[in-house]
Amino acid sequence: MLDLIIQGGTVHDGRGGDGIRADVGIADGRIQEIGDLADVPAADRLDADGLTVAPGFIDLHTHSDFTLAADGRAQSQVHQGVTTEVIGQCGFSCAPVNDALDVAIMAPGFTDGMIDVDWTTFSGYLDHLDKIALGVNVAAFVGHGTIHRAVLGDELRPADDDELDTMKGLLEDSIDGGAYGFSSGLEYWPGSVATPEQMSELTAIAARKGVLYATHVRNRDQHYDIGFGEAISTARTAGARLQISHIQPKHGAPSYAMEHAIEMVDAARQRGVDVAYDVIPHDWSHTRVMAILPQWAQEGGVAAVGERLRDPTVRKRIKRNPRPMWRLVSDGIWEKIVLMQSGANIELVGKNFAQIGALRDCDPYDAALDLLLEEGEHMSHLMWTSQSFSEADIRLALGQSECAVISDTLALSPEGCLKHHIGSLSGYGWAARFLQHYVRDHRVMSLGEGVRRLTALPAARLGITDRGTLQRGACADITVFDGERIASHCDVHEPRRFATGIAHVLVNGVASMRDGHRTDADAGRVLRSH
C-alpha cells in the first residue's frame, strides 16, 4: 500500500515537455508510481484535479544561511512551492569562521540573540542545521568572502601566498565537509580585493572536487564585459563548472549589454566551458547599504567605518566615489532607491531616498550615510533596493534555455523572530511571480518549460540526481499549483504577503502545505555534497 496518492492532476515532470493527466504514488518519501492509480490502495489521497503537479521548486541562489538557523520553517518559501534552497551565495556564508563575530559580519539577516553560534567549520555549521526542523531541503555553498575574512580579517588587500594556501585548505575542508559549491561576490568587499589569478587557483579546487562555482561578478554596469569575461576566464582556466549569478546588467550598462553577455556565454560554451546563468524575476536589485562605500572606507570593521562617516571631510570624499556599486547613486536618481530593512528606523522602510532626504531635510546621500551610523554595530545589515534592472533584459535572458530563475533572498516568516526581516521585494513571491508574469501572462515560455527552469535545470547544475524531476525512485519533493491563479502579492509597501495559488507542497513525501494551508510538518533535510 502507498502512503499517499496525488490524484487527477496534470503532471509536468520537470523535463520541459507537455503535461500528462496522471496520479503520483508515494511511499517512504519517494515516488513509487506515476499513472492511473485509481484502484491502488493508499493511506491518504490529495486532490489535484485541474491543477499542475510539478517537482518541488529549487531556489538556486539564496542568502538564508542565518535565517534558516534561526527559524527553519522557511515560511516565505514553502508558501510558494519551494522545497530546496541553495544558500551561501555571493561569497557570503556562515562558515568557516573564527568566532561568532565573523558570522555577525558575514551572514545576511544576522540578528543578535537569535541563535548560539556553536560552530567554526563548515561541517559544524551543517551539523547545526541538521538539528533544526527545516521546512525546505538545504544545499549550502561556501563563500569566498567568508574564507577570506577567516584568514585576513578586515585587511584591505589580497592574500599573500601563505594566506592563499590557508584559504585553499579551508575551501577544501568545507567541500569535504558537505559544501555543495563555492561562491564569490567580487563586487563586494572582501571579494573585490581578490585577484583573478587567486580566484582561478581557488576555483580549481572546486573543479577538482566536482562542485559548482557561482559568482556575483565584479561589475554589471559600465564594465559589464570585464566582469563576465573574468568569470568565464576563471572557469576556463580552473576547469570548473560556472554559474553566473543574476546575470542581468544594472543601470549604467549600455543597452546591448545583456545581448553581448549572452553572446559571450555562448562563445565560451562552444569552446567547451560549462557555463550557465540565472536571473531574478523582477527589475528590482537589492544589497547592503554599506556596499555603496568605496573599498577604502570599508576597511577596519564597523567602528572604523563609523569614524569615517562622522568626519565631515572624509564623508565628502566618500560621496565623491566615482564608481559606486549603483550608478543610480552617482546619477542622483534617489526616487528609484528604497529602504528595505532597518533596525533603527523601521518607520522609514518602504520609503525611497528622495522621500527620506526630504523628511530629514538633507541630501539623500547624507540620509543614507546617517542611517548607516544610526544602525551602529549592525550597520552591515542595513538593506536597500533599487529599480536597476531592465524588463527587456530579463525576458531576453529567459529566452535562453540555460537560464534558471532565482530569488536572491532570505527564507523568512511574517511572525516569530524573523517578522521584521526582509530580504528582497520578491522574497515572498519570486517563484509565483515568475510563473504568473513571465509564463502565464506574457508567455515568454510554456508552462512545462517554466517548470523546468525551477526544477530539473537547477538540480542538474547542482549535480542532484534524485530531486528536480518526477520519476520513479526520486525523492517526493512535489508542488501542486493552479497555473491560472498563482500570483505574487509583494510590493515596496507590503513585501511580506504570501503568494497564492499553491495547493499542496510535499517535502520528502510529507505535506508541508495541504489545501492551500501550511501544516505543522517540517521534513526538510541538509543535503551534503560528500
For cell 573564527, name the residue: 98
Going by pLDDT thresholds of 50, 70 and 90, the confidence category of residue 341 is confident
d(CA 491, CA 488): 9
The domain limits of the chain are: 57-284+389-462, 302-384
Region of 29 please: left (phi>0), alpha (psi -120 to 50) or beta: left
Say how far apart CA 410 and CA 85 lie, in whole Å. Answer: 10
Amino acid at position 252, single letter: G
First to last CA, the chain: 33
DSSP letter assigned to residue 378: G
Q: Which residue has the cell 526520486?
A: 474
109: closest CA among 279, 245, 288, 302?
288
Q: Report, as an integer, the average pLDDT of 299-307.
A: 91
Task: Quote the CA–CA distance of 388 and 203 in Å, as a whole number.
Answer: 29
For 506: left if phi > 0, alpha if psi spans -120 to 50, otherwise beta; the answer is beta
Predicted local confidence at residue 494, as pLDDT: 82
Q: Confidence class of residue 169 from pLDDT cuts 50, 70 and 90? A: very high
Mean pLDDT of the region 262-279: 98
* Average pLDDT for the chain: 95
Average pLDDT over residues 419-425: 80
More confident call, 287 vs 17: 17
For residue 311, give Cα distances in angstroms to 123, 189, 225, 316, 369: 42, 22, 36, 9, 11
- pLDDT for the residue numbered 362: 97
pLDDT at site 473: 98
- pLDDT category, 288, cuts 50, 70, 90? confident
Higher-confidence residue of 346 and 498: namely 498
What backbone torsions phi and psi does residue 276 show, to the nearest 5 degrees? -145, 180
> At 290, is the pLDDT very low, low, confident or very high (cuts 50, 70, 90)?
very high
Q: Does position 42 have pLDDT exceeding 80, yes or no?
A: yes
Confidence tier at 364 by pLDDT (50, 70, 90): very high
Banded model confidence at residue 506, pLDDT cuts 50, 70, 90 = very high
Rounded to whole angstroms, the Cα distance separating 173 from 253 reads: 38
Q: Which three cell numbers stand for residue 115?
A: 541563535
pLDDT at 48 over 90: yes
Output phi, psi for 6, to 5 deg. -95, 115
CA angle 116, 212, 428 (to 5 degrees): 55
Paired with 482 in beta bridges are none
- Cis omega before residue 364 (within 30°)? no
- What is the reported pLDDT for 295? 84
d(CA 490, CA 46): 29
Nearest Cα neighbor of 363 from 354, 374, 372, 373 is: 354
Residue type present at position 228 = F
Helices (H), ranges, 153-223: 161-176, 196-209
CA-based nearest residue to 409, from 3, 7, 90: 90
Out of 196-210, 379-393, 456-470, which region has the weakest mean confidence (pLDDT)?
379-393
| pLDDT confidence of residue 112 | 85
Across the range 7-32, mean pLDDT stands at 98
pLDDT average, residue stretch 420-432: 87
Instruction: Report the topology of domain 57-284+389-462.
Output: TIM Barrel (3.20.20)
Angle at 249 between CA 245 and CA 252, to 5 degrees: 145
The answer on pLDDT for 287 being more than 90 is no
> Is a pLDDT exceeding 90 seen at residue 423?
no
Residues 353/337, Cβ–Cβ less than 8 Å? yes
Tell whether the model's pLDDT for residue 12 goes beyond 80. yes
| Least confident residue range of 318-322, 323-327, 333-337, 503-507 | 323-327
pLDDT tens digit string along 81-136? 999 999 999 999 999 999 999 999 999 888 888 999 999 999 999 999 999 999 99
Q: Is residue 300 scored above 90 in pLDDT? A: no
pLDDT confidence band for 426 (50 / 70 / 90): confident
User: Could you read off the pLDDT of 234-256 as tens digits, one per residue?
Assistant: 999 999 999 999 999 999 999 99
